[in-house]
Structure 1
Amino acid sequence: MKTIALVVMTVMAMNVYGQNKTDISLMRKGSGTQSSEVASETGDLYSQMEHHGPAVENEWIGLRLYFDHKGSIDVYNKEKPGLELAAAGWYPTVEQQNEGWGADYYKVGSTVGLGGIRLWDGQKVLSLTPVTMRTARVRKEANQSYMEMLSEGIPYCGDTIDVLVRVTVFSGMREAKVEAFAFSSHPVQFYTGVNYHKGMQTKQGDDYICTWGIHPEDVAASQLNIGAGIIFNPADFASIAKGPKQYEMVSKPTKYLETWITSSCEREAELNSMEALVKYLEDYSK
């Protein structure tokens, strides 16, 4: 985790006067117009939004937050570095994919996906629902972009709390930062992790968890081996266990949690195997 902090500072310094290789997207279906903020008292605009919620991207991946109770983070994988959301959206055509564009190869289902945030009440997982209001925001800055979801009025352990989840991507950096903030009178326990499917390889290190293999997704033109990793501070977690569909990570009582996530695919030039992904993640521990 110390390495990530140093890399962020270096990348930010290098990109102050460079090109911002990040982007944002938040649009209602059929509007053709980008928004900076969208809110709903029901907390569910999943079917009304392009890519089902806010999205961000850097050169290597796109990420989206589902605008509903799940709080899941989904991944758009790319074969080559570049920005694609503005031109191709989350679902490029078959022709575009055959020309080397990325696609939605990652399958989240009912899980947290890659680093999504829920709550733990001491006995079970709680979705970020019901709410009195859910608000999605996106912002593009000099060398980074972020999306965030504020869920207000969530019942939790006899209290009513607000939870903000923010996902930030950086120019020149493969990792995205996931932050969870609890606005509450007492600390809470967050629940996060990384999902996997039957037949996939998985590995848990001291401060990372990664997966590699085929996701049973049917919206892409083909299926590729996809890698996913979450990097964390072990001292932040009360328990980490491999569940039937995802690694289940329960934080210690807190009002703030930070993890880092990354993803890759077999057609990339660099992180195109489980071995390459593991080595990359282990380098952060040194």
Structure 2
Amino acid sequence: MKYLIIILTLLANFSYAQNMTDISLFWKENPEQVTEIASEEGNLYSKLGHHGPAVENEFVAYRFYFDHKVAIDVYNKTKPQLELAEAAWYPTEEKQKEGWGADQYKAGSTVGLGGVRLWDGEKPVYLDPVTKRTARVRKEANISYMEMLSENVPYKGDSIDVLVRVTVFSGSREGKVEAFAFCDKPVQFLTGVNYHDGTKTKEGKDYVATWGLHPEDVAAFQLNIGAAVKYNPDDFAKTEKADKELRLISKPTHYLSTYITSACEKEENFKGMEDFISYLEGLEKVN
């Protein structure tokens, strides 16, 4: 029995150590965690903790804005650890001085980092208005994911449902973004990464990337951060540099996947854009 207890303890510790991911979704007035929240109006931005569902691994955290933007925002870390459960996206200044991460990124009205919208052939289409918007979070063996389902979105004279999911993995900096269109005819998705005045940008063969300071006033200290979308060029009809966004416009489809990643200058091996680009170009191609 003694050896059985030791083995079970070791297995439990091994399993815990392997799953360096977590989820977070709660009402601002009630800190109790839940796995699903829905709204017929489609806007719970001001009522939810960190404005929507969030997910993290040891390197970075992401959140969806629960409103018409459905943008993906980033929480950058300076050292590998899980922080959402205690920091709830907004660590104290004391915690940041101790090396905790912070909300360095500013998505604004854009897609943020890898957020998904529709493209009508001329311009972006928000996943809005809706008859219902639902946020879900799930934590499994060695991954965690969050998703947002927007129902009955007007698009080209039709009404479609769009699901966007972000999955993070233990031991991997990259998060996978998937978009599903539930409709008869294929659609064009729009994704990309936003930038600000003074931000460095780069368009590679299979990525779009930025590096620099974001005009964010939530973090105690401003830090240069890198952000990028890694993609399969065969999935996209064109790329363009628009005002505030490096855009990727997909070919007609019902499903699209990309990978997103971010890094902070206080992390080891990410002292500038050159390090970040070198890291991106060393990643495997997206299938």
- TM-score interval for Structure 1 and Structure 2 normalised by the shorter chain: over 0.9
Instruction: State the percentage of identical aligned residues.
Output: 66
Number of residue-to-residue matches in the alignment:
272
CA deviation profile, 1:13-52 (whole Å, cap 9, x unmatched): xx97852100000000020100100000000000000000
Partner residue, 1:250: 249
Distance 1:104 1:207, change over 3 A: same
Partner residue, 2:30: 31
Structure 1 runs not aligned, ≥5 long? 1-14
Aligned equivalents of 1:17, 1:235: Cα separation in 2: 38
Instruction: Please show how residues 31-50 of structure 1 align to structure 2 within 5 Å.
Output: 31-50=30-49
Would you say 1:108 and 2:107 are equivalent positions?
yes
Distance 1:221 1:17, change over 3 A: closer
Aligned equivalents of 2:134, 2:128: Cα separation in 1: 13
Using the TM superposition, give the Cα deviation of residue 270 of structure 1 relative to its aligned residue in structure 2, in angstroms. Answer: 2.1
Partner residue, 2:131: 132
Partner residue, 1:80: 79
Aligned equivalents of 1:133, 1:217: Cα separation in 2: 31
**Preserved contact between residue 264 and residue 272 of structure 1 (Cα < 8 Å):** no
- Which protein shows a greater Rg? 2
Partner residue, 1:92: 91
Aligned equivalents of 1:39, 1:244: Cα separation in 2: 32
Using the TM superposition, give the Cα deviation of residue 271 of structure 1 relative to its aligned residue in structure 2, in angstroms. Answer: 2.4
Using the TM superposition, give the Cα deviation of residue 146 of structure 1 relative to its aligned residue in structure 2, in angstroms. Answer: 0.0
CA deviation profile, 1:73-122 (whole Å, cap 9, x unmatched): 00000010000000111111111111111000001111000000000111
Partner residue, 1:54: 53
Partner residue, 1:118: 117
Aligned equivalents of 1:101, 1:21: Cα separation in 2: 16
SS, match of residue 175 in structure 1:
strand
> Root-mean-square deviation (CA), in Å?
1.2
Q: Which amino acid aligns with 1:124?
A: K
SS, match of residue 267 in structure 1:
coil
Would you say 1:221 and 2:220 are equivalent positions?
yes
CA deviation profile, 1:123-160 (whole Å, cap 9, x unmatched): 11110011010000000000000000000011111111
**Preserved contact between residue 23 and residue 140 of structure 1 (Cα < 8 Å):** yes
Distance 1:17 1:63, change over 3 A: closer
Instruction: Please show how residues 168-247 of structure 1 align to structure 2 within 5 Å.
Output: 168-247=167-246
Partner residue, 1:165: 164
Aligned equivalents of 1:272, 1:65: Cα separation in 2: 28
Q: Which amino acid aligns with 1:176?
A: G
Partner residue, 2:275: 276
SS, match of residue 85 in structure 2:
helix
TM-score normalized by structure 1?
0.93
Aligned equivalents of 1:17, 1:116: Cα separation in 2: 30
Runs of 4+ in 1 over 2 A off after TM superposition: 15-19
Using the TM superposition, give the Cα deviation of residue 272 of structure 1 relative to its aligned residue in structure 2, in angstroms. Answer: 3.0
Using the TM superposition, give the Cα deviation of residue 248 of structure 1 relative to its aligned residue in structure 2, in angstroms. Answer: 1.3
Structure 2 runs not aligned, ≥5 long? 1-13
Partner residue, 1:260: 259
